[in-house]
Amino acid sequence: MPAPAKKTSTKNEPAASASSRSDRLDARVLETLVGYNARRAWLIVSGFFAERMAPYGLKQIDFSVLSLLAHNPGATSRQLCTTLDILPPNLVSLVATLDSRGLIERRPHPHDGRAVGLHLTSDGEALVREAEQAVVQLEADASAKLSVRERETLIKLLQKIYL
């Protein structure tokens, strides 16, 4: 098998820059699309999230559920599904997993005898406190190229799409 051709560069241009430019495709149309740009930004943020939440054993959906329960004790599965826009069958296994980890517990709902309220255990409260601090920092790191004002504007604009 022949050896790959060596990349050459000009005097003032590092080899990595030359290869980056030659590998870059014309994405002008894609870069005008909200979905494409949102997805590309999400890939960066989710990479930070996966790395920083691994020690906690949390995926994005786990963190979201725990954070909602931390700030809304006794929320029902239906409320979680509505808020997170997920299907009930998908939440059932997630709740079971969080319960088996000792992070949440089910209690009878005080106003609806058919519903069950979900609450964090003391272990769940401790975990979510630490995880929320880590998420705030990872978000700051992932969006470090934005000013505080730009970050706030970006969040407001994205929320206009889904709220």
Question: For the segment 138-152, what is each residue's pLDDT rounded down to a tens digit?
Answer: 999 999 999 999 999
What is the maximum span of the chain, computed from C-alpha positions, in angstroms?
76
Residues 86, 91: Cα–Cα separation, whole Å: 7
pLDDT for 6: 44
The residue-averaged pLDDT of 51-68 equals: 97
∠19-22-25 over CA atoms, to 5°? 130
pLDDT for 4: 45
Residues 33, 99: Cα–Cα separation, whole Å: 40
| The amino acid at 43 | L
Residues of 121-134 as b/e, b for ≥16 C-beta within 10 angstroms? eeebbebbeebeeb
Residue carrying the six token digits 């709220």:
163
> CA 109: distance to chain centroid?
29
What average pLDDT does the chain have?
A: 89
pLDDT for 22: 77
